[in-house]
Chains A and B, each alone.
Chain A
């Protein structure tokens, strides 16, 4: 199942290319421009560069939810459920496939940032990749949970878009907590994207381990993978799409 989900990424290479180009433009135009304008926070560019990679991982990981919703609408999910794959493996395979797919998609962008910022310590690079992977794994679980909990296509689009916006924008991925409005700053520390962004920056710039971020990410993965699995089969086998 994981291999199948990963393979779907390469069927539409133009999406990868266009998103990579958008990332490069965002980095070299927007981030450079804003970092020149921001006077209160020197070094905004490196902050933004790492954060934008984290943001992309989260964004791509959400796609699995759209895939599952579409499969359910087209009836392909019924077919997949007839295959002799234990349900536990099935759900882990799907979440893993979605997470690996997001990583494959993001690695070139991460590599670009690593070259620009001269990240060369192998241990900190491995720690950063682990942070990104945990985020991807948890977000796929969250996305699957939403996909099987919402029945209407329009409502699903709105819920997932809002959720994506909330976890990415109300986070420290693209701007520091100190500069956020108080109502955003109140929730941003609990965003999984914040856990991943802080932990990744600690690994790459501080060459240290951000335990809070790591534990937060692990909890996020456990909760949403568990919820995703439970909802997925309870709702589907109950005939939610019938």
Chain B
């Protein structure tokens, strides 16, 4: 179990993470969902003992990260957002060295494990190619493979499928799930809604260094007002008179960001013609209308007031 107890990290005058409290359960995949700069990476680096928290407490499997940093490092593996690999080495050597530093495997076991993981991600033929000559996607796979080969008790992936094509993304998700099934606790930081939704057992929404909400994707969606979302795209410079829409009892909330209006409501199909008519009568130009079920993106918008770009 991993616990954040009012944890904070301050860089100069900036609070990258503030009063952050959360518990990550054993053998779950927790998706940390938030925009760039939300504090996800700082949270992970504090957990990994790279940064020391400036306030609060973080414990990993009962070990305080400040007082027992080396014991924490022995059970944790981090795959960074930007690949952190020695460019002059090939993938095989990068992974072999990583396992040498992080596991007690002997040479034969190490090489066997490296071969298996490289074959699984289709990098075996390129195993000796220097990583700085590889494409972004290949380098990202090597970074992820460090943790997949290490199989640590706590596995942390920062944007694991950034730069990857669709088949590779699906494969990576499968391998991360397998890691969880083998007994690892997995933390996946992402700003991709579908990744958080499809991969995570629970999702923690992080914004401006704070925990906004945490639950299963289904629970988060069901908690969102109304259950349906009407998205309206208005003409340039048009303002939506929210008070006109909230007079309908089925409308729970209205928010506008630029020319995009999001209406949280129930019984949308019946209400849609009335809403369009009301706005048109008020002289509001509507370019498009889209009614849909609540998605994690709507949950994020609902909690933070911003879309996740």
| Interface of A toward B, CB cutoff 8 Å | 4, 11, 74-76, 78-79, 81-87, 236-239, 242
Tell yes or no: B80 within 8 A of A by CB: yes
Residues on A with beta carbons closer than 8 Å to the beta carbon of B52: 237-238
Instruction: Give chain A nearest CB distance to B233 CB in angstroms.
Output: 38
Tell yes or no: B113 within 8 A of A by CB: no
Check B42 against A82 for contact (C-beta < 8 Å): no
For A242, the closest partner residue in chain B by CB is B11
Interface centre among B48, B77, B86, B97 (most CB of A within 10 A): B86
Give 9 nearest A-B pairs by CB, closest first.
A79-B84, A84-B73, A84-B74, A237-B52, A81-B50, A83-B101, A82-B48, A239-B51, A82-B78
Residues on A with beta carbons closer than 8 Å to the beta carbon of B42: 239, 242
Tell yes or no: B82 within 8 A of A by CB: yes
Check A75 against B82 for contact (C-beta < 8 Å): yes
For B97, the closest partner residue in chain A by CB is A4
Residues on B with beta carbons closer than 8 Å to the beta carbon of A87: 69-70
User: Interface readout for B275-301 with A: 1 if CB under 8 Å, 0 if not?
Assistant: 000000000000000000000000000
What are 15 sample pairs from A and B whose C-beta atoms fall under 8 A apart?
A: A79-B80, A82-B76, A82-B78, A84-B101, A84-B102, A87-B70, A237-B49, A237-B51, A237-B52, A238-B52, A239-B11, A239-B42, A239-B51, A242-B11, A242-B16
| Interface of B toward A, CB cutoff 8 Å | 9, 11, 16, 42, 45, 48-52, 69-70, 73-74, 76-78, 80, 82, 84-86, 88, 97, 101-102
Check A238 against B51 for contact (C-beta < 8 Å): yes
Instruction: Give chain B nearest CB distance to A51 CB in angstroms.
Output: 34
Check B11 against A78 for contact (C-beta < 8 Å): no
Residues on B with beta carbons closer than 8 Å to the beta carbon of A85: 70, 73, 101
User: What is the CA–CA distance of A64 and B172 in the complex, to the nearest angstrom?
Assistant: 36
User: What is the CA–CA distance of A84 and B52 in the complex, to the nearest angstrom?
Assistant: 16
User: What is the CA–CA distance of A82 and B70 in the complex, to the nearest angstrom?
Assistant: 9
User: What is the CA–CA distance of A176 and B48 in the complex, to the nearest angstrom?
Assistant: 52
Check B102 against A75 for contact (C-beta < 8 Å): no
Residues on A with beta carbons closer than 8 Å to the beta carbon of B70: 84-87
- From known contacts A84-B73, A86-B70, infer whether A78 and B101 are also in contact, taking CB-CB under 8 Å: no
Instruction: Give chain A nearest CB distance to B107 CB in angstroms.
Output: 15
User: What is the CA–CA distance of A242 and B37 in the complex, to the nearest angstrom?
Assistant: 11
Check B84 against A75 for contact (C-beta < 8 Å): yes
Instruction: Give chain B nearest CB distance to A36 CB in angstroms.
Output: 44
Instruction: Give chain A nearest CB distance to B140 CB in angstroms.
Output: 14
User: What is the CA–CA distance of A74 and B42 in the complex, to the nearest angstrom?
Assistant: 17
Residues on A with beta carbons closer than 8 Å to the beta carbon of B102: 83-84
Residues on A with beta carbons closer than 8 Å to the beta carbon of B50: 78, 81-82, 236-237
- From known contacts A239-B51, A242-B11, infer whether A82 and B82 are also in contact, taking CB-CB under 8 Å: no
- From known contacts A85-B101, A86-B70, infer whether A78 and B88 are also in contact, taking CB-CB under 8 Å: no
Residues on B with beta carbons closer than 8 Å to the beta carbon of A78: 45, 50, 80, 84
User: What is the CA–CA distance of A238 and B194 in the complex, to the nearest angstrom?
Assistant: 34
Instruction: Give chain B nearest CB distance to A49 CB in angstroms.
Output: 34
Instruction: Give chain A nearest CB distance to B81 CB in angstroms.
Output: 9
Residues on A with beta carbons closer than 8 Å to the beta carbon of B69: 87
For A233, the closest partner residue in chain B by CB is B52
Instruction: Give chain B nearest CB distance to A60 CB in angstroms.
Output: 19
Instruction: Give chain A nearest CB distance to B145 CB in angstroms.
Output: 14
Q: A87-B70, A237-B51 are in contact. List 4 more A-B contacts (CB 8 A).
A: A78-B45, A83-B101, A237-B50, A239-B51
Check B80 against A83 for contact (C-beta < 8 Å): no
- From known contacts A75-B84, A76-B84, A76-B86, infer whether A82 and B51 are also in contact, taking CB-CB under 8 Å: no
Residues on A with beta carbons closer than 8 Å to the beta carbon of B77: 82
Instruction: Give chain A nearest CB distance to B50 CB in angstroms.
Output: 5
Check A75 against B80 for contact (C-beta < 8 Å): yes
User: What is the CA–CA distance of A74 and B82 in the complex, to the nearest angstrom?
Assistant: 9
Give the contacting residue for A81; candidates B11, B49, B85; CB below 8 A.
B49
- From known contacts A78-B50, A82-B76, infer whether A239 and B101 are also in contact, taking CB-CB under 8 Å: no
Residues on A with beta carbons closer than 8 Å to the beta carbon of B16: 239, 242
Residues on A with beta carbons closer than 8 Å to the beta carbon of B82: 75
Residues on B with beta carbons closer than 8 Å to the beta carbon of A74: 84
For A79, the closest partner residue in chain B by CB is B84
Instruction: Give chain A nearest CB distance to B165 CB in angstroms.
Output: 24
Residues on B with beta carbons closer than 8 Å to the beta carbon of A84: 70, 73-74, 101-102
User: What is the CA–CA distance of A78 and B143 in the complex, to the nearest angstrom?
Assistant: 13
Check A83 against B51 for contact (C-beta < 8 Å): no
Residues on B with beta carbons closer than 8 Å to the beta carbon of A238: 51-52
